[in-house]
Structure 1
Amino acid sequence: MLNTFKQAPFYLDEQAIKWVKDTYKNFTTEQKIGQLFNLMVMQNSPDELAMIKKIQPGAITKFVTGSLETEINTINKIRHLSNTPLLISSDLEGGSMSFSFGAQVPNQLALAGLNDKKAVDYCTNVIAQEAKLLGINWSFTPVIDINKKFKSAIVGTRSYGSDIHLIKSMSQANIKILQQNNIAATVKHWPGEGFDDRDQHLVTTVNPMTKDQWDQSFGKLYQSAINNDVKAVMSAHIALPQYTKLYEDNQEQWWRPASINKHLNQTLLRDELGFNGLVVSDASTMAGVSSFSNRETVCVETIENGCDMLLFCQDPLQDFDFLLNGLRNGQLSEARLEQSVLRILAMKASLNLHHPSQDLSVDAFKQLTQSDYAKNIKKINRSTPHLVKNKSDFLPITVESKKRVLIISEGIKNIFSPHPIPLQVNEMLIKKGFEVVEFKAGISLQPENYDWILYLFSNESGLLKSRIYIDWLSLHAGFMESMYRPWVDLPTVMVSFGHPYLLYDAPSVPVYINAYCPNSDVQQAVVDALVGEINFNDQAAIDPFCGLDQLKY
């Protein structure tokens, strides 16, 4: 097996092969088991650090906080706690996942709307430069899911849209730039999401495609990524029943999620597509897999059925015991343990982690941010908002004729924030000379009080959201009010700084804009475009009309 690491995607030389071989040979059984874990570090807590020291995982996933100094210090501590070089992973997806102390990069769907591969190159390079200085050497991107079910809250703004050729081109660019920066890229979510409007965090989702249909869509996307030397694939809690049924008579097994499905991970991914890199499970705590089997079975079957690494734990020490006991009783084979650990070490060597490295530096990151490394990000951000509808040519707006505006908004919604975060559009409009009233429960919606109304939504696609929609009862703060649509009486503009399919809940709104993410440059761009100072984008990588002609009018 070691000789295969000389080939794609790791391309190890003899020195690196020797390091992999010697490191594996010197591991105890417990140390081999530890390498299978990718532990979450979210709170930078002493308990998290103590767990890393005890288990000696092969990887951690870092959720980056708002403090540069804290992040640098924590990663330095973690690296010193590990006896074997660590893979340090993160979701480098842009949008709301951008580092708060770095450049605010558009999410994948916003970039796809520009139909400009050079913009993907540039933004990925900006993210990669920041990530390297934070010690991150493994990105869980690109997302190559397809925007097919518009109600999906987990795909939406995270993907490159719905066109296979565009997704292929842009994901190739993402992979190339990340790995040129010595950061392993990961394509997800295997075997392909977007044809189910549910969320794997909450339920096992289903890709309903026949094998021929899959070959012509996701098959092409994954084959392209493999041909472009992507180092990792994330196997998700998604069933592909039309493929699994070719190997299973028991119909219940057709719905087995990929993360614990040998036919998908081994037969399809490795044997048919020829993938020789690392397979990591999606978060093993998700209901998409935890609802299928008990925890012990999930831990063991994740590795035995083709994943090389277990992502996240409920109780790391208990999960460690599950895998160790599984090895001792034969449920986890020695062969699969060896294959997985060798692949993990090979990926580390492909990233030159077997060579000594210096501690991370706060000053080095600050020097980067003070350079011109991201000088074009503002321009790219400002080019992303898409004008979907502009009935009666209401835009652009002039402050002289439409001075009084009522803004109705629920702020920026983020799963990790207990309360919505205010948008800045209000203040930006005031600076333009508009008189702004912010809607609150009890405020009149009577048309004579305003010249126009502006709805602002900000809910990017993400985990545990189940559905993203306009909750009119909450938004208008009343039973009768929830059924009133002010655009029959007043010019009305609706802007989504996130989920791009809100027209489904407001089909007759006269002016609708998709801005994809709420970073400050994008908010300012929307305001500037509303008053005609810059132009909106006129392209999209998805169908904002959700396949319904009604939404166009």
Structure 2
Amino acid sequence: MTELQLTLEEKIGQMLICGFDGLTPNDHIQQLIEKHHIGGVIYFSRNYANVKQIADLSYELQQMNAASSQVPLFVSIDQEGGMVARIDNDEVTLVPGNMSIGASRDDELAYEAAVICAKELRQMGINVNFAPSLDINNNPKNPVIGVRSYGENADLVSELGIATIEGYQSSDLAATAKHFPGHGDTAVDSHYGLASVPHNQARLMKLELAPFIRAIQAGVDMIMTAHVMFPAFEPEQIPATLSRRVLHDLLRVQLAYEGIIITDCLEMHAISKEFGVAEGAVKAVEGGADIVLVSHTLQEQVAAIEALIGAVRSGRIQEEQIDVSVKRILALKHKRHVGEYEQLTGSVAEQFGTAERKDLIRQLTEKSITLVKDEQQLPLNLSEPTLVIWPEVRHHTQVDEPIVQAYTLGPALAELGANVKEFRIATHPTEEDIQSAIQLAAQYKQVVVVTYNAVSELHEGQVEIVRQIAARNDVALVVASTRNPYDLNQFSEVKTYLCCYENRPMTMSALAKVLTGQLKAQGKLPVTLSPEYSFGMAAQ
């Protein structure tokens, strides 16, 4: 089938990827598929209960679509790994996040991890991953990228990003380099506002754009746009997602990119509050986007579709441009065999999260633990009672989802013979949390405080706990960050500090091994924390 055999409505439908709420096909997604001919769906954790359920959902959606269309669906997800994973239970093999991989410096294991992720997603009927993030995180105040980046160095981000892209695409999972031209050096979360990157073109080409240029050369299937302004390329007050100068002149012409350009979700406030979703969809396609992503609201999804159809009929957008985009979409669907899908049968345990796969991920994870400083406090004294203070993610954000995990650092240390008590607080600790933690710590001479984005103003209670305990002369205090690594800057007086980049169970197991001396910390800093603790550094 070519794009010329499709009606205008069917062509526009191919240019939409939409989300819905549910574990089974509902009226929302049925309307989008049957009436509006959408080209793809996006899954979130709201769509996932277990492997068999989501595999069945993918199959049922493809079957529903096949009844009215000869073009199979893109089935997409943000499965970046680590802290950004829509599917994260024990059934699957959860790969580390980008900054953990950046600390490991191991491109071969990065490739193998991507292959594992791709194979399991494809078996669940998912054929597009909105990953990897190729943003260079060189701004400690960035609220949305952080550990989603491999680090602050263009060569490191490029090398590990290409390994991941090649791992995905070798297993027929379409990869997506994001967020073009780079969301790393911003202090505003584009889910909530419109950020700007002020640097000149020479700096942007050398740093922010370098990994994307390498990804284009490596044949990446998709590039996702950033809802961020780049005055060096676009003098008007509009984000890259809506800029023809960025999407067409820079990405298509100057960088010679021939793959699919997809927007980040247009319901993010940087677009929806500034321009509106429907107008944002038209502006994005005018700018050169092939696919627009509208993740949540049926009313907004339908409005975007109708606005695009209207823009073509009024002559605002030429149908020839739509044809070119649809041709790219159909070509990628054919290349990645998205029409080849089967209902999942057989034992889930034999196909997902196998011991062999988890062992490879364990190797990669263990290479990521980074010892930044240690003034002779490690290994922990296993005979000394130990208190672990654990921050629990209880607040939902556009990036974080509440995680109440059973296997934390306390159980991991206990498995290795430590006499340990764990006390849980919120990542946004209340005054009661703070005082309870400090009073309990007063009863211990060996304390491990786990921090989670303590650099955030919302999390300053974590900083108070660390500082109060560190002020004592009679305590061996160890601090381990489990998200962004910059927490040390909030309490430089701490004598022992490690970076883990995520708090997932396998990472906590690796951290416990390092703390007890069973494993040597092998990670190297993927970012600079301060002049004293710079990129590439690790304590001996």
Match of 1:519 in 2: 504
Are positions 1:94 and 2:111 aligned together? Answer: no
Contact 1:412 1:422 in 2 (8 A): no
Query: Quick one: which amino acid aligns to residue 300 of structure 1?
Result: V
Query: What secondary structure is seen at the aligned counterpart in 2 of 1:242?
Result: coil
- Within the candidate set 366, 383, 391, 1:410 is matched to 391
Query: Quick one: which amino acid aligns to residue 49 of structure 1?
Result: I
Query: Quick one: which amino acid aligns to residue 141 of structure 2?
Result: K
Query: What secondary structure is seen at the aligned counterpart in 1 of 2:356?
Result: coil
- Within the candidate set 300, 309, 323, 2:282 is matched to 300
Are positions 1:311 and 2:293 aligned together? Answer: yes
Contact 2:59 2:341 in 1 (8 A): no
Aligned-partner Cα distance in 1 for 2:510–2:205: 40
Aligned-partner Cα distance in 1 for 2:414–2:466: 27
Match of 2:245 in 1: 263
Q: Map residues 278-297 of structure 1 onto 2, 5 A cutoff.
A: 278-297=260-279
Contact 1:72 1:362 in 2 (8 A): no
- Within the candidate set 356, 371, 388, 1:387 is matched to 371
Query: What secondary structure is seen at the aligned counterpart in 1 of 2:80?
Result: coil
Aligned-partner Cα distance in 2 for 1:482–1:456: 9
Are positions 1:49 and 2:37 aligned together? Answer: no
1:181-212 deviations in Å (ceiling 9; x for gaps): 11121111111121112211111222222111
Are positions 1:145 and 2:145 aligned together? Answer: no
Match of 2:307 in 1: 322
Contact 1:301 1:332 in 2 (8 A): no
Match of 2:428 in 1: none
- Within the candidate set 159, 178, 181, 1:188 is matched to 178
Contact 1:457 1:495 in 2 (8 A): yes
Contact 2:41 2:74 in 1 (8 A): yes
Match of 1:214 in 2: 204
CA, structure 1 residues 115+352, in 2 after alignment: closer, same or farther (shift >3 Å)?
A: same
Q: Map residues 403-442 of structure 1 onto 2, 5 A cutoff.
A: 403-412=384-393, 415=397, 417-418=401-402, 420-421=404-405, 424-431=408-415, 432-436=417-421, 438=423, 441=432
Q: Shift of the alpha carbon at 1:435?
A: 4.1
Aligned-partner Cα distance in 1 for 2:490–2:350: 46
Match of 1:16 in 2: none
Aligned-partner Cα distance in 2 for 1:103–1:273: 35
Match of 2:490 in 1: 505
Are positions 1:375 and 2:359 aligned together? Answer: yes
Q: Shift of the alpha carbon at 1:326?
A: 2.0
Q: TM-score, normalized by length of structure 1?
A: 0.85
Unaligned runs of 5+ in 2: 426-431
Q: Shift of the alpha carbon at 1:407?
A: 2.6
Contact 1:205 1:238 in 2 (8 A): yes
Contact 1:412 1:423 in 2 (8 A): no
Q: Shift of the alpha carbon at 1:455?
A: 1.1
Aligned-partner Cα distance in 2 for 1:306–1:116: 36
Query: Quick one: which amino acid aligns to residue 363 of structure 2?
Result: K
Contact 2:393 2:402 in 1 (8 A): no
Aligned-partner Cα distance in 1 for 2:280–2:389: 45
CA, structure 1 residues 207+437, in 2 after alignment: closer, same or farther (shift >3 Å)?
A: closer
CA, structure 1 residues 360+379, in 2 after alignment: closer, same or farther (shift >3 Å)?
A: same
Are positions 1:452 and 2:434 aligned together? Answer: no
Query: Quick one: which amino acid aligns to residue 90 of structure 1?
Result: I
Unaligned runs of 5+ in 1: 1-18, 246-252, 461-466
1:328-365 deviations in Å (ceiling 9; x for gaps): 22223223222222221121122133xx5342314275
Aligned-partner Cα distance in 2 for 1:237–1:429: 42
Query: Quick one: which amino acid aligns to residue 255 of structure 2?
Result: L
Query: Quick one: which amino acid aligns to residue 298 of structure 1?
Result: G
Query: What secondary structure is seen at the aligned counterpart in 2 of 1:174?
Result: helix
Are positions 1:231 and 2:221 aligned together? Answer: yes
Are positions 1:74 and 2:57 aligned together? Answer: yes
CA, structure 1 residues 284+546, in 2 after alignment: closer, same or farther (shift >3 Å)?
A: farther
- Within the candidate set 333, 350, 354, 1:348 is matched to 333
Aligned-partner Cα distance in 2 for 1:37–1:44: 21
Q: Which moved more, 1:304-313 or 1:277-286?
A: 304-313
| Cα RMSD (Å) | 2.7
Aligned-partner Cα distance in 2 for 1:211–1:199: 23
CA, structure 1 residues 361+371, in 2 after alignment: closer, same or farther (shift >3 Å)?
A: farther
Match of 1:124 in 2: 114
Aligned-partner Cα distance in 2 for 1:499–1:236: 21
Query: Quick one: which amino acid aligns to residue 243 of structure 2?
Result: N
Contact 1:388 1:538 in 2 (8 A): no
CA, structure 1 residues 307+537, in 2 after alignment: closer, same or farther (shift >3 Å)?
A: same
Contact 2:113 2:167 in 1 (8 A): no
Aligned-partner Cα distance in 2 for 1:459–1:406: 20
What is the number of residues matched between the two proteins? 508
Query: Quick one: which amino acid aligns to residue 384 of structure 1?
Result: S
Contact 2:225 2:262 in 1 (8 A): yes
Match of 1:12 in 2: none
Aligned-partner Cα distance in 2 for 1:516–1:444: 23
Match of 1:249 in 2: none
Are positions 1:492 and 2:473 aligned together? Answer: no
Q: Shift of the alpha carbon at 1:291?
A: 3.1
Q: What is the aligned-residue identity percentage?
A: 21
CA, structure 1 residues 379+77, in 2 after alignment: closer, same or farther (shift >3 Å)?
A: same
Q: Which moved more, 1:257-266 or 1:418-427?
A: 418-427
Contact 1:142 1:174 in 2 (8 A): yes
Query: Quick one: which amino acid aligns to residue 326 of structure 1?
Result: A
Aligned-partner Cα distance in 2 for 1:364–1:347: 31
Contact 1:470 1:505 in 2 (8 A): no
Contact 1:412 1:459 in 2 (8 A): no
Are positions 1:25 and 2:10 aligned together? Answer: no
